[in-house]
Amino acid sequence: MDRRNRKGNVGNGIFRKFGRRHDLAGVGDIPYLDAGKTKPVFVVATANDISKSPPELVRKVRVDEIFFVDLPTEKEREEIIKIHLHKKGREPTDYNVSDLAKASKGYSGAELEGVVKEALFQSYDLGRALKDEDLLDACSKTFPLA
């Protein structure tokens, strides 16, 4: 049986194109994604390491632009932490955000959000308001994936 015809195969992904399903079975038999195109299609994809992508997926005709988005800088981490504190009803100026931004080098925005949430859980469990120590403690217990 041809790999493209087996459904539920662990290595197969599903690609939706014009309302039809197309199996992406493996590197060697990936169908041309632009075959039979009748309308413009805009596709956005992410990868942690594009160098490990199969060349037929990243060739110039298939991919118009490749953008690199790095982890946030210290200043950007400060802003992200302020945003998440504000979203949780806390005043960012009440906390030493710069210390937390320094301690969170290599963290993504999602991981910083997780730090704020974890610190809030910690302070709630202790029956008190959120403190800088809670934020730094939650940061030390979070391991960034980057």
* Spacing of C-alpha 113 from chain mean position: 12
Phi, psi of 145 (to 5 degrees): -80, -15
Element housing 109 (H / E): helix 109-125
In the prediction, which pLDDT does 34 show? 55
CATH architecture for residues 74-140? Orthogonal Bundle (1.10)
Tell me if 146 sits within 8 A of 105, measured CB to CB: no
Spell out, as residue ranges, where the chain has pLDDT lower than 70: 1-37
pTM of the predicted model over 0.75: no
58-90 pLDDT, tens per residue?
Answer: 887 777 788 888 999 999 999 999 999 999 999
- Rounded to whole angstroms, the Cα distance separating 96 from 6 reads 55
CA distances from residue 32 to 24, 44, 131 in whole angstroms, order as listed: 10, 16, 54
pLDDT at res. 146: 76
- C-alpha distances (whole Å) from 29 to each of 8, 32, 34, 41, 58 are 17, 9, 15, 21, 15
Q: What is the pLDDT of residue 25?
A: 37
Q: If you search the block for the tokens 């910690």, which residue do you land on?
A: 122
Domain boundaries, the chain: 3-58, 74-140
